[in-house]
Amino acid sequence: MPDPDNPHWPNSDPEDFRETGQLPLPGAPIDEWSALDHGLADEILSGDGDKHRRRTRAKRFVGWTLAVAGGVLALGAVFYAIDLMTSAGDVPRGTVVAGVDVGGLSRHDAEVKLRRELEPRLDQPVPIVAGDVQATLDPVTAGLGVDWPATLAHAGSQSLDPIARIESFFVKRPVAVVTTTDEQALDQAVSQLAQQHVNHPQTEGSIGFRPVPNSDGGVTAFPIEPRQGQTLYDLPGAADLVKGHWLDPHGVSLPVAFTPVLATTDGVHATLNGFVVPAISKPVAVHGDGADARLKPDAIAAAMRFTARPDGSLAATLDSPTLRGSLSPQLATTEQPGKDARMIFGAGPPTVTSSEDAHQIDWDGTFAPLTAVLIKPDGRDLTVRYRTTPPGVTTADAGRLGIGEIIAQFSTSGLSGAAATNVRAMAERVNGVILRPGQTFSLIDRTGPWQGFVPAPLNEDGTGPQVVGGGVSQFATTLYNAAYLAGLTDAGHTDHAYYLDRYPPGRDAEALREDGSRIDLRFTDSLASGVAIQAFGDQQSVTVRIWGTHQYRVNSETSPWRDIVAPTFVQQPGPGCQPNPGAPGFSVTDTRIRYDVATGAEVGRDTRVVRYQPVPGTVCI
């Protein structure tokens, strides 16, 4: 019977059954059924029609895809063949030499283009970037040139790889020029570049100052920016980089080794603006006992010290000795130096002068609040603090030290002229000094600045260069021997280089060098009592006496000379020549033996070996 939903029924095409999935009802003509594939009928009768339709469509899609792919491959093969034939012998597409695109050109055209673009740059300075330095290199001086054919040969030929050929349409391939080089000239040029431009030491962050013209101590501060040090550490490698990239449009970048710094720019500016600028904005008024002083901005700046820290900050501190040097002259009248008790020697027993306490500035205490004062815009005042210090030897001490008799004395002679003046001046500085038991005497400390000394021959025998204080070594030797005989302990002295026969061998002391600098003589009061030094002289001699309580009897034993070296002689012409026999050099041993005066028993030996150099002689010719 007819199917109202299938207009083709009952004479539908069997393929329609595949498409529609409709089945003829029983009674349809047998020829229609015979046209059906038995497998299809089975599928239809079994209900698998949907699966069959999906397979049919998949087969059709695969067939269509294979047909399209085959066409594309055929067309690609045609284009590949055409591309091969048309680009044979050309520079590969995408090739860029020193910034110049020569891809796809013939070798001849590529060389022409390269020459046109690059030859004007062959003698132009090459930009160099190395760390934080930008410089230039002269290619002519460096012996750099271009081998054009070799450069194009280095670029290669068109690739046969289809994928590489496709990529060449979209990807640029940089190729370095082939450089002709004078290796020695290039190495020298790179080395000179490193030394003159690239290499530099590190600059740690800090702060500097400039004076303000026509101002009373005004200064301005400026930052010293931190800069890490750097070194072009691989010169051969740097030369290779220059050789390969000197024609690149942006120049050559060279690697450097860095030396780091601690402070950062922010750390420097924080200290500059937060402390330094306020600190030097105005003077500081310093108020002492009976006198005032001004700490000017330039003095504050001179005392500033800066230290970079690992956290990047910059620490600022104030140097106390520098501040003190600025204020001391202005506040000198507010201080009272202390005075030790001293012995006064006259015709009778010695008497003691009164001691005085020292009233001196406590500089550490004075400067303690200064940092807080410096950051104030106004009210910049600083009060001086003082301390009272007792003298080294008070009047009461001197009375209890048991100084009542001469325990040792030594004199030397042969003085004359300016040397005698200097020896007397030194004797006056030392005369009256008192030492407590255990206290050490220093000749330099006791004599202080050499005021009142005059130029004289350095050596006691009148030889040597003229120096201020010449001849005072005679006083040093005289003092040394007096302390030696008193049994005091040697705390340091310097023997003469040459032996002078006015002194016992091995028992002399120098006080002055040829350049005018002083040499110290030190000894310690190792007695049970205190001691006082009496020193005086005239135009010919000087004497030193040690006063105290007699404790030791001292003997001195001197060995025979040994290791004797004869002097050398210098010939000198002219009527003014003075012959000089010179003197031999030798070694000698001195032994000081101390005996207790109460028991007579030996209590100690002190042995020293002294070596004297020979004194050159003069022969007149």
DSSP 41-102: HHHHHHT-HHHHHHHHHHHHHHHHHHHHHHHHHHHHHHHHHHHHHHHTTBPPTTEEETTEE-
Total count of domains within the chain = 2
272 within a domain of the structure (yes/no)? no
Query: pLDDT digit string (tens) for 487-532?
Result: 999 999 999 999 999 899 999 999 999 888 999 999 999 999 999 9
Give me the pLDDT at residue 104, please.
Answer: 72
Is the pLDDT at 604 greater than 50? The verdict is yes
Query: Does residue 326 register a pLDDT over 90?
Result: yes
Tell me: pLDDT of 440 over 90: yes
Supply the pLDDT for residue 49.
56
Residue 201 has pLDDT above 70, yes or no: yes
Structure confidence at residue 34 (pLDDT): 46
Strand 569-572 to 617-620 pairing: parallel
pLDDT at 42: 52
Query: Does 184 map to a domain?
Result: yes
pLDDT tens digits, residue range 546-555?
Answer: 999 999 999 9
Q: Does 31 score more than 50 pLDDT? A: no
64 within domain boundaries: no
Q: Residue 152 belongs to what domain range?
A: 95-198
8 Å CB contact between 467 and 512 = yes
Residue 444: pLDDT over 50: yes
Single residue among 146, 168, 198 that ends a domain in this structure = 198
* Percent share of the chain, pLDDT over 90: 61
Q: Which of 144-158, 184-198, 443-457 has the highest mean pLDDT?
A: 184-198
The model's confidence at residue 80, banded by pLDDT at 50, 70 and 90, is very low
For 532-571, write each residue's pLDDT tens digit: 999 999 999 999 999 999 999 999 999 999 999 999 999 8
* Helix 49-87, helix 38-46: angle, nearest 10: 120
Question: Does the structure show a pLDDT above 50 at 414?
Answer: yes
Helix pair 473-486, 417-430: axis angle to 10 deg: 40
Mean pLDDT rounded to a whole number for the chain: 85
Q: Which of 151, 183, 198 is the last residue of a domain?
A: 198
Does the residue 301 lie in any domain? no
Q: Does position 476 have pLDDT exceeding 80, yes or no? A: yes
pLDDT at 17: 43
539 within domain boundaries: yes
Give the domain-ending residue among 183, 198, 213. 198
The percent of residues above 70 in pLDDT, for the chain, comes to: 83
- Beta-carbon count within 10 A of 481 CB: 22
Look at residue 605 and tell me if it is in a domain: yes
Q: Which long-range contacts (CB under 8 A, 24 or more apart) does 115-121 make?
A: 115/148, 118/146, 118/177, 118/247, 121/247
Closest-CA residue to 197 (of 243, 134, 261, 127): 134
* Among candidate residues 434, 580, 433, 429, the one with its CA nearest the CA of residue 511: 429
Count of residues making up the chain:
621
pLDDT of residue 383: 97
Q: Would residue 22 count as lying in a domain?
A: no
> Helix or strand or coil: residue 311?
coil
- Going by pLDDT thresholds of 50, 70 and 90, the confidence category of residue 54 is low
pLDDT at 190: 95
204 within some domain: no
Q: What are phi and psi of 611, to 5 degrees?
A: -115, 125
The answer to whether residue 11 scores a pLDDT higher than 60 is: no
Confidence of residue 136 (pLDDT cuts 50, 70, 90): very high
> What are the pLDDT digits (tens) for 303-322?
999 999 999 999 999 999 99
Range in 173-187, 370-384, 601-615 the model is least confident about: 173-187
Burial string for 248-280 (b: 16+ CB within 10 Å, else e) reads beebbebebeeeebbbbeebbeebbeebbeebb
